[in-house]
Amino acid sequence: MEKILLPYGRESVAVEIEEGHLAGVLRSGIHGYKPPMDGEALVRASMEHPIGTPRLRELAAGKRKIVVIASDHTRPVPSRVIMPQMLAEIRAGNPSADITILVATGLHRTTTRDELATKFGDEITARERIVIHDCDDAANLVNIGRLPSGGDLVVNRLAVEADLLVAEGFIEPHFFAGFSGGRKSVLPGIASRATVMYNHNAGFIAHPKARTGVLDGNPVHEDMLFAARAAKLAFVVNVVIDAAHDPIFCVSGDCDAAHRAGREFLAAKCQVDAIPADIAISTNGGYPLDQNIYQAVKGMTAAEATVKQGGVIVMFAKSQDGHGGASFHRTFRDEPDLGRMMRTFLARRPEETIIDQWQSQILARVLLKARVVYASDCDDQTVRDLHMIPAHSAAEAMDVAKSLVGRPDYKVTVIPDGVSVIVREGAAPA
């Protein structure tokens, strides 16, 4: 019997695979990587040697209004490590700078005070000016042009009116933007709802280059990079993190050049070849990324890349917050036919994109390839509404999966952290 620990919320669960049935385990090399120094030192060294720009203190000199874009509560960015050093570096170059931390919520709910304190620490939360981006606050949004795809580029007024715009963030594989980090601080981070939805249109999501780890030819990425340049994002500090969410690599400087160095490091560690199997097990890496079903679609796409057509995906995600998106939930609850759902998405023009359509489209794509057993703390009806089969333990999930396969010679591929790997399809069948 093979026993494999999987992250689940703030804890872990053990899945047991009977002898002879394990095809393979797909792990990111990131989790075994030992950095040459601790996280604070990594960030400091990176900021002292930026890629493609002068140091942040030099950029800050003579600038009055400086805006630092920060990630929100849904991202495990170690802001307690990054933000104090960014603020200190800015003030080293300009002690009188008027600094605003702008929390990039994208289309997410507002970040709470407690979440800010957890993210930044009590001192920064109490002393710094922190503004939460609101994608629907028309009075604080400004149109600064048109995206290459044709959509209006509307972003937060504070960013537009800043004398210097910088950002913190982290780099991980992203299931349709290729990688997180860098340019994503602007789009979707501080963009209007309409701008984000245009960028996340059905044609882009269906594009063969809009996949994990792919940037060349990816139309989603191309819009995002254009937006960052148009908003004059001048400097980023981006980290790569391990399973404990501690920095193990850091890049600073130009939002594309520095980001490219970070993603090259990451890709070298986290690309794995698919091991086709009847059952593919995945997770969303535990808290905070597995708080709801909406976010867990990301981890499912790793399993999608290795499960056989008509197979079974077992997804472990605590999902204590439920579905994570009302429109996302309604889309599946009200449409029993996944093929018709997909045709409806693809028929919509970019400007007709509805909220959460991109996540619904990707989940529908996954479900059209494989049945999904969803092991979580979520209520059964919500899981069934989303066309998945509920389970509440590893043993139950595996029993259901094996019964769905219906063959004694089934094979299982396990992905302990589905958001930390880039699964390359096309490996030889197991």
Question: In the prediction, which pLDDT does 428 show?
Answer: 38
Map 312-338 to HEC letters: EEEEECCCCCCCCCHHHHHHHHCCCCH
Last residue of a domain, one of 269, 291, 316: 269
- 245 included as an active-site residue: no
CA distances to 53, 154, 258 from 254, in Å? 6, 22, 5
- 174 included as an active-site residue: yes
pLDDT-flagged residues of the chain (< 70): 426-430
* pLDDT tens digits along 93-143: 999 999 999 999 998 889 999 999 999 999 999 999 999 999 999 999 999
Strands 22-25 and 173-174, how do they pair?
Answer: unpaired
Question: In the prediction, which pLDDT does 271 show?
Answer: 94
Question: In the prediction, which pLDDT does 204 show?
Answer: 97
Question: In the prediction, which pLDDT does 430 show?
Answer: 34
Query: Are residues 307 and 389 part of one domain?
Result: yes
Question: In the prediction, which pLDDT does 372 show?
Answer: 98
Catalytic residue among 21, 73, 174, 323: 174
Q: Is 404 helix (H, G, I), strand (E, B) or coil?
A: helix
Catalytic residue among 108, 200, 259, 387: 108
Number of structural domains (the chain) is 2
Query: Are residues 38 and 17 part of one domain?
Result: no
Structural domain including 181 reads 32-269
291 within 8 A of 325, measured Cβ to Cβ: no
Query: Are residues 290 and 232 part of one domain?
Result: no
286 within 8 A of 299, measured Cβ to Cβ: no
Taking the CA atoms of 273, 271, 21 and 402 in sequence, report the sign of the dihedral they define.
negative
Which CATH number is 264's domain given? 3.40.50.11440
Query: Are residues 297 and 205 part of one domain?
Result: no
Please provide the DSSP assignment of 198-265 as one string. Answer: HHT-HHHHHSTTSSTT--TT-HHHHHHHHHHHHTTEEEEEEEEE-TTS-EEEEEEESTTHHHHHHHHH
153 within 8 A of 145, measured Cβ to Cβ: yes
Last residue of a domain, one of 269, 285, 318: 269
What's the maximum distance between 2 C-alpha atoms anywhere in the chain?
71
Residue 51 within any structural domain of the chain: yes
Residue 430 within any structural domain of the chain: no
Residue 178 within any structural domain of the chain: yes
Query: Are residues 197 and 156 part of one domain?
Result: yes
Which CATH number is 418's domain given? 3.90.226.30
Query: Are residues 310 and 253 part of one domain?
Result: no
Question: In the prediction, which pLDDT does 426 show?
Answer: 64
Question: In the prediction, which pLDDT does 289 show?
Answer: 87
Report residue 160 as tokens: 């537009």
Query: Are residues 171 and 38 part of one domain?
Result: yes
Cβ-proximal residues to 156 (8 Å cutoff; 6+ apart), any chain:
102, 133, 140, 141, 142, 190, 191
